[in-house]
Structure formats: C-alpha cells, structure tokens
Amino acid sequence: MTISSAISRLTQSSVFGVTNRALSLCGLFVGLLLTASVNAATTLKIATLSPEGTGWMIELRAAAKAIRERTDDEVKLKIYPGGVMGDDKAVLRKLRVGQLHGAAMTSGGVMQSYPDIALYNLPLVFRSSEEVDYVRARLDKKLMAGLRENKFVGFGLAEVGFAYPMTKDPVTAVADFQNQRVWAPDNDPGALKAYSSFNITPIPLPIADVLTGLQTGLIDSIGSPPIGAIALQWHTQVDYALELPLMYVYGLFAITERAFNRMSEAEQAIVTEELTAAVVRVDAASRKDNDAAGNALVSEGLQWLQPSDSELAEWYAIADEANQKLKANDYVSSAMFDELMSLLQEYRSSQTATQ
C-alpha cells in the first residue's frame, strides 16, 4: 500500500477520527522523513601526518574518489593532510570525541587504546625484511581483529621501513651510542622504550624540530628509515648509518567503529574494499621506495657501517633481554608476544635447515 492510499483510507474512516489538518501535518512529517533519508550522506573526516604528494595521500585521494563514485556520493572522505589536525596523540583525542572519524597513524599513536598494535615495534625483534613478511602474513589479521575489539575498524598495516641509527660520527658499539644525543619522536612510547632498552636516554622532539635539532647540535643521532631521512632532509646533517634494523616502523589506517557503523552494510563493504586496497598499495610501494632511498643516501655521501660480530651479538642480546622485560611489564600481551617469537623461531629454523 502506498503512503497516499493509506492517508486516503484514514480520511474516509470515522473510526480514527483524524481531522484533515492532522493528516496534513502527518503527511508533512512523512515527507520530511523521506527527504532526510535521501539526503543522509556520510562524510568521514580523516587525518594524516602525510603531506600532499606522498604515497599515503595519493592512495587516500584515489580511494576517496572511488568510494564516492561507487556509493553515488553517499559516502565522502574529507582528508586533512600534513598534520594540520595535530600529532597522533591529538588525532586520537579527536577521534574519541567524534571531531574526526578516521586517521592514518603510526602504531605508537594507537597503542594507548590497543597496546598489541605496537607488537612489531619491539627493538631489534626482526633481522630482515623476509622475517617481517613471514610474521605479518600470519599475524596482521589478528592485530586488525584486536583493533576492532577496541572500537576501531582497521584496514591493514603499511610499512614505513626499518629505522636505522644515523649519526654525525662513526658509531657501531652500544657503549658508544650511550654517549650520543639521540632523538626520539615525542609521544612515541615504542621509540622511547626501544632506546631505553640500551640505556640510552633520548631527547624527545616533534618531527618538525628534528632538522633544526641536528643543525644546532641539540641532537647528533637519529633513527629513521632511509625514505624518511631523505624526505625530511635529515640526511644532510648526518654522515653515517649503522646496518642495524633497530625498529620496524609502520602505520595503519583506521576508522572509529562508531563512524563505520553509521554506514549501510553495502557502504561498509565498499569502504573496506577500497581502503584495504589502498593500504596494500602503500605497503608494497614503501619497500621499493626505501631500497631506492638507501642507494640514494650512498650517492649523497652517507657511509653505511657494519658492526663487528661481537658488537652485533651485544646489540641483539640486550634487545632480547629488554623484550622479555617489556613482555613482563605488559607492554604487549604475553600471548601475542609468544606467538611472534614462535613464528620467528619457526622461520629462522627453516632457513637454517635449507642452508
């Protein structure tokens, strides 16, 4: 039965005692409801530290366009690039109050809500990209499920790369690093924990202040993936890099569960498909970009240093002990930590057997 025929029947029925004026108001109300449902488009406000032109922004713009087209303008992404919404800590606060609906953030920015998302940040836990790939193929989905339990809908992790120690002076031993003025990102508990594991007291600074810090001597050492060092011009202030994958750095894209649930199931499926694909593309491109950046650093005059066998053994021994302490202090959950270490042992054993 149509709305007009229903109103007609009510008008002709004395049982309901409905006046023409009341019916007119009822019809107006129904019309307003129909209009509201037609115009109920969803705009998702998204923040990222990445500036325009970067891989993250290119892929986010492409995903936003595809989502808008596939939902007939019912779902739109309004993106705030370049950190205009503040650092990860500020963004997380805005997500909680609904001022923002999603963000591309570092793992450290999310760990306050979900500590296990920083699992791959443990100091020197990975020794190669092959180990990273083996573990991530088996644990990424579990981390995304844990994120959902903490009221965030994640669309995957995107590699930034291994952070290597980069210095003004040639340094290879742990003891020598303890005398350096080392930078750590402020509000990044993962980096602070990593450095403190080696009895290094870092100097926390916002990313925007690192270049000035290097130029003025406030700091003389950084930890950064090659692509980051070049993009932010830090490489112009350092002369050496240590072949030591101090920390695996990565980001993620997530939307609050509250905002995600405002969409229909069909819209959720489209958003999930497009954003997941975008993160996968960023993840794949980053590995290639870092390889190219590492070669570019050499051409710019930076010298890669190789620690001796005894120095390397000391770095890893300290890191192993530190990671056990982090587990004991619930930095990450024991279950996820144990699964990570089991997978690494599994992979390393298989490599030893084939040699």
Give the per-residue pLDDT at 109: 67
Cβ-based neighbour number of residue 235 at 10 Å:
23
Give the chain's radius of gyration (CA, Å).
Answer: 26
Going from N- to C-terminal start, the domains of the chain cover: 40-354
Architecture of the domain delimited by 40-354? 3-Layer(aba) Sandwich (3.40)
DSSP per residue, 304-353: EE---HHHHHHHHHHHHHHHHHHHHTTSS-HHHHHHHHHHHHHHHHHHHH
Nearest to 252 by CA among 340, 130, 129, 146: 146
Give the per-residue pLDDT at 40: 62
Give the per-residue pLDDT at 55: 82
Alpha-carbon distances of 4 from 20, 36, 115, rounded to whole Å: 14, 19, 56
Q: Which helix (H) or strand (E) holds 221?
A: strand 221-224
User: How many helices (H) and strands (E) are present in the chain, helices listed first?
Assistant: 14, 10
Alpha-carbon distances of 276 from 254, 284, 309, rounded to whole Å: 10, 12, 41
- Tell me the pTM: 0.83
Give the per-residue pLDDT at 51: 80
Beta bridge partners of 167: 221, 240
DSSP per residue, 245-305: --EEEEEEEEEEHHHHTTS-HHHHHHHHHHHHHHHHHHHHHHHHHHHHHHHHHHHTT-EEE
Let me know: does 227 contact 290? Beta carbons within 8 Å: yes
Let me know: does 185 contact 204? Beta carbons within 8 Å: yes
Per DSSP, 122 falls in state S
One digit per residue, pLDDT tens: the chain, 355 residues? Answer: 433 443 344 333 333 333 344 334 334 333 333 333 334 689 999 998 888 888 888 999 999 999 999 999 999 999 999 889 988 888 889 999 999 999 988 776 676 778 999 999 999 999 999 999 999 999 999 999 999 999 999 999 999 899 999 999 999 999 999 999 999 988 777 778 778 888 888 999 988 899 999 999 999 999 999 988 998 899 999 999 999 999 999 989 999 999 999 999 999 999 999 999 999 999 999 888 888 999 999 999 999 999 999 999 999 999 999 999 889 988 899 999 999 999 999 999 998 877 6
Let me know: does 28 contact 248? Beta carbons within 8 Å: no
**What are 323's two structure tokens?**
């990671």
Let me know: does 56 contact 50? Beta carbons within 8 Å: yes
